[in-house]
Amino acid sequence: MGQKKDLTGSEKSKIVRYLAEGCSSLKIAKLLKRDHRTIKRFIQNSQQGHKKRVEKPRRKITAHELRKVKRAAAKMPLATSLAIFQSCNITGVPKSTRCAILRDMAKVRKAERRPPLNKTHKLKRQDWAKKYLKTDFSKVLWTDEMRVSLDGPDGWARGWIGKGQRAPVPLRRQQGGCGVLVWAGIIKDELVGPFRVEDGVKLNSQSYCQFLEDTFFKQWYRKKSASFKKNMIFMQDNAPSHASKYSTAWLARKGIKEEKLMTWPPCSPDLNPIENLWSIIKCEIYKEGKQYTSLNSVWEAVVAAARNVDGEPIKTLTESMDGRLLSVLAKKGDYIGH
């Protein structure tokens, strides 16, 4: 019986099948005409590779300490296991034990990107969908601001969340922090902008209206025909600088009022198609972990990425509105998947 160095894949499969049938290693060696030691070695190695993990005994935690940990996890959402145990003055517990204990009372979650919708929010979203269900969305200008930073979108924290608790919504300063604030709009298959808000300018009602005057109205809107202006519907969200009495009155003097100014439901970024355009641009400017050394360089990247977006994806986004409205109604006002 000749001894070979390695078993073939076919021979290994046969060994497994023979073992399942109850054959001994000696019999398998005879059936395959292989050295008995080769067969035994394969069986032993296979068994070692599939040994069950033996869990080490946890350090015993008293019932009183467990109650302290549970309270700390509830008070410190998204905290690490180490921070939770340290707040309880429980030291000397390895990470594996901390996590094993926390799994019985909590789970690891990321912060939620969107605030939970209450009943009023859902009703207003449904009312909005019903109101605009027959709208010609090719005539709607969808607008929004986006902040871009040097290092890309902030990562959302992960941490322990007590069972039955919701992950907290992080504070998102729409007009604060370091970066470049960009405004743009989309209508039908056209991108309006992007326009850069001057560094250091905080958009309140007055500065927002002045910004629109210097960019949107002077550089784009005034070039349009009278019939276009007559039919265009202007959409903006409910940011304080947008929805204030000052801004509303200023837009009205520009002819954007009543049915030409779209009402907007609360907590509804998922209904604004330009949010999807922002995602396309951010994926492009931050691809492969790209980072920037100056605000001008990241702004130049935004402009370049925007130029590369042709009319087809923009048209796809604006034409998605009928489906979004139907989804809102089908989900009874809840968030949709866009």
Out of 106-120, 121-135, 137-151, 321-335, pick the least confident: 106-120
| One domain for residues 81 and 181 | no
Taking 80 as the threshold, does the pLDDT of residue 36 lie above it? yes
Are residue 29 and residue 70 in the same domain, yes or no? no
In a domain, 69, yes or no: yes
- Higher-pLDDT residue of 103, 168: 103
Supply the CATH number for residue 207's domain.
3.30.420.10
Q: Tell whether 22 and 86 lie within a shared domain.
A: no
Where does residue 262 rank: exposed (0-12), middle (13-18), buried (19+ CB within 10 A)?
middle
Domains in the chain, number: 3
pLDDT recorded at residue 22: 80
Domain membership flag for residue 167: no
Mean pLDDT over each residue of the chain, to the nearest integer: 87
Is residue 225 located within the same domain as residue 197?
yes
Instruction: Identify the residue with better confidence: 248 or 10.
Output: 248
On the question of pLDDT at 92 being above 70, the answer is yes
DSSP state of 225: -
- Is the predicted pLDDT of residue 289 greater than 80, yes or no? no
Percent above pLDDT 70 for the chain? 87
* Assigned domain for 219 exists: yes
Sequence letter at residue 29: A
Does the pLDDT value for residue 156 go beyond 50? no
Residue 146 located in a structural domain: yes
Contact 295, 199 (CB under 8 A): yes
What is the mean predicted confidence (pLDDT) over 84-102? 89
In a domain, 172, yes or no: no
pLDDT at 109 over 90: no
Domain identity same for 229 and 323: yes
Provide the residue range defining the domain that includes 262.
119-154+177-331
Token pair of 270 as six digits = 């998922």
Task: For residue 140, list its beta bridge partners.
Answer: 233
Q: Is 315 among the domain residues?
A: yes
Given a cut of 60, whether residue 108 has pLDDT beyond it is yes
> Domain for residue 165, yes or no?
no
Three-class SS state of 25? helix
Residue 320 makes CB contacts below 8 A (sequence gap 6+) with 273, 338
Instruction: Give the model's pLDDT for residue 111.
Output: 59
Residue 136 — φ and ψ, nearest 5°? Answer: -85, 100
Give 91 or 49, the one with higher predicted confidence: 91
pLDDT band at 179 (very low <50, low <70, confident <90, very high): confident
Q: Determine the average pLDDT of the residues in 297-325.
A: 95
Q: How confident is the model at residue 110 (pLDDT cuts 50, 70, 90)?
A: low
Pair 187, 91 in one domain: no
Statement to judge: residues 132 and 235 lie in one domain: yes
Work out the angle at residue 243's Cα, subtended by the Cα atoms of residues 268 and 148, and round it to the nearest 5 degrees. 60
Q: Which residues, in sequence order, are CB contacts of 137 under 8 Å at separation 6+?
A: 318, 319, 321, 322
Verify that 272 and 190 share a domain, yes or no: yes
Question: Are residues 266 and 126 part of one domain?
Answer: yes
Distance CA 182, CA 281 (A): 12
Structure tokens at 96: 């594996």
Whether residues 94 and 184 share a domain: the answer is: no
Task: Give the pLDDT of residue 4.
Answer: 56
Query: What is residue 173's predicted lDDT score, i.e. its pLDDT?
Result: 40
Rounded CA-CA distance 194/205 in Å is 20
CA atoms in the 13 A half-sphere facing the CB of 159: 23
- The answer on pLDDT for 55 being more than 70 is no
Kindly state whether residues 68 and 215 are assigned to the same domain: no
In three-state secondary structure terms, 62 is coil
pLDDT > 50? residue 1: no
Going by the DSSP 8-state scheme, the letter that residue 79 receives in this structure is B
Element (H, E) at 178: none
Whether 50 maps to a domain, the answer reads no
201 in the same domain as 146: yes
Give yes or no for residue 177 having a pLDDT over 50. Answer: no
The pTM of the full predicted model, rounded to 2 decimals, is: 0.64
**Per-residue pLDDT, 262:** 97
Residue 37: pLDDT above 70? Answer: yes
Q: Calculate mean pLDDT across residues 41-61.
A: 65
Q: Which residue has the tokens 């370049």?
A: 304
Which pLDDT value is given to residue 16? Answer: 79
Q: What per-residue confidence (pLDDT) applies to 176?
A: 40
Of 56-65, 236-245, 288-297, which gets the smallest average pLDDT?
Answer: 56-65
